[in-house]
Structure formats: C-alpha cells, structure tokens
Amino acid sequence: MSNLMLKNVNKIYESGIHAVKDFSMDIKDGEFIVLVGPSGCGKSTMLRMIAGLETISSGDMILGGTVINDFAPADINASMVFQNYALFGHLSVYDNMGITLEIQHENRDEIYSKVMKAANVVDLKRELNRKPNQLSGGQRQRVALGRSIVRDPELFLMDEPLSNLDAKLRAQTRKEIVTLNRKLKTTFIYVTHDQVEAMTMADRIVVMNNGYIQQVGTPSELYDNPANVFVGGFIGTPAMNFLYGSISQDKFVNEDFSITLPKEKLRELKDAKVNNVIMGIRPEAFAVSNPGENVINAKVDIVEYLGCEYVITFGVDSERYYTAKVEANSIKGEVHKNLSLSINVDKTYFFDTTSELRIV
C-alpha cells in the first residue's frame, strides 16, 4: 500500500476551461478522503486524473514514490466505482465480479478464491448465481464494489456512487462503504456533492469550488472552524446564516440585529482592523428564550417539524429571512407567529467582506 501525493495539479481543457487549479495534498495510506463541492467545481475531474482517465496539464501525481502523470489507467493500481453500476445484465453476480480477472487470464482457482473473498466482504455470497436485474439497487452497488475488491487495488476511487439510491438505502450503503474501508485498510477517494455524505464518511474532507481547494480538514474541523464564507455555508444543514453589518462599540449591528459581542471577539476584530464584516450564525446557535440581551423577536414564516426539533424560517425587521434550529421540547404547543430567540454569540463567526476569509 502507498501514499498518494498531489503537487500543484492543474487541468486546462482545449476550450480554455481551467477545471482544476493548483491542487495539492498528501493522502495517507488507508485514509478515507471525500472531495465535496457543487457541480462543476472540479472534483470529478480530479478523480479522473488520479485514475488516468484524464491527462493532467501540469503538476505531479506520485503514488508510492512513482510519478504516475502519464500512466494509462491499466498501469495505475486503482479501481473506480461510478454512479452507473456498469454491470453486465447477462452475467451472474459471480461472473460480473470476476470479469476483470477473466480478461487478465487469471487462473480459475485464483479467480474463485478472490471472488469468494470479495463476496464475503460485501455480503453477497448468497446472490452469486443471480443476475443484476434480480437485485436491489444497493445490492448492485455492492456487486460493483466487489468487482473492485477482487483487483486488490492500492486506491478505491468512487464518483458519486450512491446518487441512484433512495435516501434510506443511501444511508445504509454509506455505512457499508465506510466499514469496507476499515476492513480493507485501503485508501478511498470519494466524490460527492452531498455534504451529509462527506461529513458522515470522511476521515478528511476536501471542499472545492471553482477548481480550487477551499479547505481540507476533518468533519469537525470544517464545521467548527470554516476558513471562509463558502465553507461555512456549504458545511452544515441547514446552512449557516450570513449577516452583513458593522462593529459599533461592543456590538455587531445591521438592519435586523444588534448583538453584544464577547470581549475576546471584539479584541480580535479590533486587532484585525476591520469595521464592516460578515457575521455567520449557525441555525443551532439560536434557542427559544425569554426577552433579554441578544434576544430577538423573530417573525415566524415557515415551520418544519422534524420530530425532535423544529427548523424555523423567520424575519426580523427587513425583508431578509434567517433559519433557526431549536429543540421541539423547548416550545410548548404550536409555534406561533412571534418567537423570542436568543443567540449564542460564542458560536458566531466573522468574515472579511472583501476576501470572505475568516477573521475570528
């Protein structure tokens, strides 16, 4: 097994589109890395370059000390799982899982041994004689995973493999993929646009936008310490609220809010020599409260009841709307049109209005 080093990797298409820009990171052997970001951010292009399916424009990809920039896909010991399962409908599960080894003219006994081992890992031993059209979507995805396992690759590359599954099956299958990573102790690089998948599966997340890496870190690092407005808004459900305003004496002020800030944050904002700022408030930083300091009168617009909590869309004075997530047991009876909400200022974030980088 080997580490993968990516150094200043770029991809520029003939049309002039710069899809991946100066991508650099070290991926340790056995890590589960998730590339996440909106459509068109370059994450799938990066994955395809690692697999050898796209040529890189500049930079270096080094697998186990060997530069693989110009390697053909067959020469890179990686196995790729796509959104489309790409199974042969006329072949059994057994034959679908072993077909790569058949093409490579492996010994039949060796094929049998590897397929049975893989079938045991993905829990398909009882389905080996069935055809793909006799399987559920989750089972078909596991056949695709099993086909990858028999190759014993150094890298598992996955491009949105759960997109075709329903919500319940997605949750189940992502647990199975994480378990598979732990069993095989092999590096997984997984692409998704779904930040919930990224947060629940990854050892480290790479957040991308417009071809650039925005931030790399563990799920908790990205959630607790977003590097910029984009990461703050992308990671977390519901999304972070952003308020444009200014610092006046000991308060953050805008058309809707006047929030007294802790001395430590005021000192850091003063040290940064900023006046106009973007304040980020996560929905869960709000709580139902009695009137007092840093309590607002929320004019409730939409209420979503999720069993243990409410997600509330509300306004204050302007035409802007914000989102709060509060515990259901904090509200007696139905949510009314007006609700007093306190703000936990220790869970607020401040960003520069020009660069959108984190200040405090």
Mean pLDDT to the nearest integer, 128-140: 90
Say whether domain 4-234 belongs to CATH 3.40.50.300: yes
How far apart are the C-alpha atoms of 360 and 349, rounded to whole Å?
Answer: 6
323: DSSP letter? E
Write down the domain spans for the chain: 4-234, 241-352
Residues with Cβ < 8 Å from 221, sequence gap 6 or more? none
Same fold, 4-234 and 241-352: no
| CATH code assigned to 241-352 | 2.40.50.140
Q: What is the DSSP letter of 76?
A: S
**Rg of the chain over all Cα atoms, to the nearest angstrom:** 25
The candidate with the shortest Cα–Cα distance to 222, out of 36, 31, 4, is 36
**Global model pTM greater than 0.85:** yes
Type and span of the H or E element at 304: strand 295-305
Give me the chain's average pLDDT, please: 92
Is residue 333 pLDDT above 70, yes or no?
A: no
| Residue 223 contacts residue 207 (beta carbons within 8 Å) | no
Q: What are phi and psi of 115, to 5 degrees?
A: -65, -40
CA angle 85/52/117 to nearest 5° reads: 50
Q: Is the pLDDT at 1 greater than 60, yes or no? A: no
Work out the percent of the chain whose per-residue pLDDT is above 70: 99
pLDDT tens sequence across 265-290: 899 898 888 889 999 999 999 999 87
Distance, in Å, from the CA atom of 223 to the CA atom of 234, rounded to the nearest integer, reads 10
What's the whole-number mean pLDDT along residues 207-232? 97
